[in-house]
Amino acid sequence: MVSMKLFDSERRVIEAAERLATALGSDPNHTVAAAAMDTAGRIHEAVNVYHFTGGPCAELVVLGAAAAAGAGPLVTIAAAGDQGRGLVPPCGRCRQALLDLHPDIFVAVPTDDGPALRPIRKLLPDTYFFPDADARRIVRFNKRYYEAIATARKTSTIRYDDQIAPGPAIFLFEDDEAHRTLNGTVTGVEHHRLDRLTAAHARLDDSTSIDQLRKGLQSHYPGLPSDAEVDIVRFTVEAPDVVQ
């Protein structure tokens, strides 16, 4: 699995978890710290509660702490162990809860090359989805597209291996210092093979030619096969006076 580049905001979440873990001391009842960031850029922190009856992991406690603060959807989460253990990946129960309650969250995990961020669905493939979770969805964009999307000059995007579903969503602009978001709706998702995209598809993505579009996608998704299935995602945004 290819490691994802870390943005400064994501590093701050990891640092917050590790800093809190360092402060835990030697209390055997609290051995893991977690930090999670919401769409407004706020970082919420919590620790686990160890108990023989199955006390909650730090990841679950931080979900509750964030909810109590009115956080809404969470975009990044990290957990770290005490006694200098560093980042720890979530257990199976936490992975299932994260997938159901925050299906678009990125999770920090340790790798041989250092910390990496994974979409939660990559940590729990082919899993059961809780049908009544009613989670608010997030669609991520490069921050350079904010103005174009806010003014409805850009109304589509082409994605690979990114499970975006029709319906209301928060449009999140990654690594944006102002943590700007837009409320929008995904109106449709069409599936196409990369090698069968046309000039019309290139114009949808603001590319000047189909070759430029393919090169752009292959640059964004290293190793993208020429016959890969990609999605053309169409969307709308709410009026500017409700832009967050």
Residues labelled catalytic: 59
Q: What are phi and psi of 103, to 5 degrees?
A: -65, -10
Instruction: Please state, in angstroms and rounded to a whole number, the distance separating the CA atoms of residues 93 and 136.
Output: 20
Instruction: Please state, in angstroms and rounded to a whole number, the distance separating the CA atoms of residues 22 and 25.
Output: 7
Question: Is the separation of the CB atoms in 47 and 33 below 8 Å?
Answer: yes
Instruction: Please state, in angstroms and rounded to a whole number, the distance separating the CA atoms of residues 77 and 58.
Output: 11
Instruction: Please state, in angstroms and rounded to a whole number, the distance separating the CA atoms of residues 148 and 137.
Output: 21
Instruction: Please state, in angstroms and rounded to a whole number, the distance separating the CA atoms of residues 44 and 16.
Output: 9
Question: Is the separation of the CB atoms in 123 and 96 below 8 Å?
Answer: no
Question: Is the separation of the CB atoms in 17 and 87 below 8 Å?
Answer: yes
